[in-house]
Structure 1
């Protein structure tokens, strides 16, 4: 594993100032992505914390940030946020629609102080629509977009993919793309704007290719029967002799042929690749072969091949995978093993510069560096 570099601002977003109004889930992760890229992110924590039940010193989504504590329900807290917004390039908030406006820190309030500000809004349902004021979590957002219904075996309930698909892929990543696009526009035009990043929109957009396949008749609108959803016997996971799993993605014929040979499939079954009527038979044979050896044994069989087979690792195992270790995909900082910033840049490298920002720990230095009014 790589060792995190010493503190110091660097990265392609060096010089960009971001205000993050503290929340949970996709908002903080989006702000972390910007911070990882070198932006100066100031997180505005609320008195008493976010109530997540996690030690702030271990919340890696707050790495590379600084923190101040402001009570947005007080006139002083509101004024403090507006002073920050006046000096920022970007503001991110994740409240339900209308909450920021009621607190006096909505888009109109902030743009009155800084017309160039990019105001990023992270919600599940979006700023409008019948469900906009309702509560929700990742699983509900991906449920209504069709994404959840695609995941899992055909004879089982939909599989729950943690909160990666909705919160972070459909939410955080789309918010960051939107913020960076709006930031480019602001620098070209001098005008800021509001970025309405709804998890339902992002999660639906992730399925663009599948919708195209559905329209072309190349995808069935039910799970576990398609090429990429586990319906295909050479694109899925298989249990090994020790109760672990291997992942197989041998889609192209040349990769499949290598997979079949290394797995030891009989020649008559190897030719069942393109015969959908024999897929169940092929799946049973593949499963039986994988059950004959341990995960480590199969890993050794398939390494250095183009069979597109890999071991299924746990979170604690992943940092020790030889390829990830060689690339420094994970890093250690402050005693916490965590993913290193991604992607990588040839001219403006990124790093974990500082650990999780503790609430209020940087009030004095933020006031100095951002030239805030005395007493702010």
Structure 2
């Protein structure tokens, strides 16, 4: 879908390379500029899964000859991705003003935690701190317990990478229509705050309710339960027909304790009853019991278990090069190329730039 789109990505952590992978999965030509002499984090594989489908060139951006290569890459690109602290690209002479002077139609994508401006713009932070300040962490936990640490997917990918990808694609559409580029400021704190619109749309309870008292984090029908084996089962049967199917599979249809689905005063007793019930059997038993039902119940799988799940396998996930690309178009799934070694494509990238007269 993105064939013909050229992206240059400057090496960074987490959400920025994820955006590059996502665009490469969709067919864009992505060249990642790795740091010359750099190496993966201790214990990390030599080939980064987030680099799949990309080409790699290793550059020392403080060396004039390599800086010239970086500028040539920018002149040849439709879009640029960087995920460094605010001001770093400017100090290298590759900030938005310099880059767009080289290429006025460039879409310059910036991925940060706090954004390019504001009181915290140059302050350190991580996924959890961005979630905390945006309000998205508030409901991550049960009553009486401290908020849990959600997977880094919620902030780095959900509030960060996917918003940058959307911004890049929007900017590319504008550039193709009018030839004018733009700067995309994608901040994790902005994206996670924006995602809170879904919860706020469900009523005032999501802006005023205490944890454990809102629609999705308090009820007995919206939580995880421990099983006899130590595993867990996830339940979220919000709609009445799904709640009825849930009770039916458990043999609780007609039980007066569960008649009032939406009475917060009953939730603690209902939760305690279900907790005792689920604790009597292992996760395999409950997964089999609810298989094929409309009860909205699923086993909580580890990543390795998920890769072996029949549905996930049928959808193409669990392969050595990572999960299948998403989304799909007309039902087809495109498999990207393998992740390159750092600097693997230096010779061919330089040859291509010289052929185009950019070096």
With the length of structure 2 as denominator, give the TM-score of the two structures. Answer: 0.95
Please point out which of 340, 349, 356 is paired with 1:366. 349
C-alpha distance in 2 between matches for 1:66 and 1:278: 58
C-alpha distance in 2 between matches for 1:62 and 1:218: 38
Please point out which of 292, 296, 309 is paired with 2:297. 309
**Which residue is equivalent to 1:262?**
249
Residue 341, structure 1, aligned to residue 325, structure 2: yes
C-alpha distance in 2 between matches for 1:329 and 1:30: 19
Please point out which of 309, 316, 322 is paired with 1:321. 309
Q: Return closer, same or farther for 1:347/1:287 CA change in 2, 3 Å cut-off.
A: closer
How many residues are matched? 358
C-alpha distance in 2 between matches for 1:159 and 1:325: 29
User: Structure 1: 5+ residue runs without aligned partners?
Assistant: 1-11
C-alpha distance in 2 between matches for 1:116 and 1:80: 19
Decide whether the 8 Å contact of 2:72 with 2:358 is kept in 1: no
| 3-state secondary structure, aligned to 1:48 | coil
1:204-243 to structure 2, matched below 5 A, reads 204-214=193-203, 216-217=204-205, 220-229=208-217, 231-243=218-230
Quote how far apart the aligned CAs of 1:258 are.
1.2
**Which residue is equivalent to 1:251?**
238
C-alpha distance in 1 between matches for 2:51 and 2:227: 38
Deviation per residue, 1:232-267 (Å, 9 max, x gap): 100110011111110001111111111012112361
Quote how far apart the aligned CAs of 1:128 are.
0.6
Quote how far apart the aligned CAs of 1:57 are.
3.4
Decide whether the 8 Å contact of 2:47 with 2:342 is kept in 1: no
Decide whether the 8 Å contact of 2:32 with 2:54 is kept in 1: yes
Two-structure CA RMSD over aligned residues (Å): 1.8
Q: Return closer, same or farther for 1:218/1:170 CA change in 2, 3 Å cut-off.
A: closer
| 3-state secondary structure, aligned to 2:319 | strand
Quote how far apart the aligned CAs of 1:323 are.
1.3
Residue 200, structure 1, aligned to residue 189, structure 2: yes
Higher relative contact order (CA 8 A, sep 6+): 1
| 3-state secondary structure, aligned to 2:201 | helix
Residue 182, structure 1, aligned to residue 162, structure 2: no
C-alpha distance in 1 between matches for 2:2 and 2:332: 9
Deviation per residue, 1:314-338 (Å, 9 max, x gap): 01100111111222233234xxxx2
**Which residue is equivalent to 1:113?**
102
| 3-state secondary structure, aligned to 2:270 | helix
Deviation per residue, 1:273-292 (Å, 9 max, x gap): 13221111111111111111
Decide whether the 8 Å contact of 1:116 with 1:191 is kept in 2: yes
C-alpha distance in 1 between matches for 2:159 and 2:326: 17
| 3-state secondary structure, aligned to 2:344 | coil
Q: Return closer, same or farther for 1:211/1:240 CA change in 2, 3 Å cut-off.
A: same
C-alpha distance in 1 between matches for 2:47 and 2:251: 46
Residue 273, structure 1, aligned to residue 256, structure 2: no
Deviation per residue, 1:199-230 (Å, 9 max, x gap): 1101101111223335x44654432221212x
Decide whether the 8 Å contact of 1:85 with 1:110 is kept in 2: yes
C-alpha distance in 2 between matches for 1:82 and 1:128: 25
Quote how far apart the aligned CAs of 1:53 are.
2.1
Decide whether the 8 Å contact of 2:205 with 2:215 is kept in 1: no
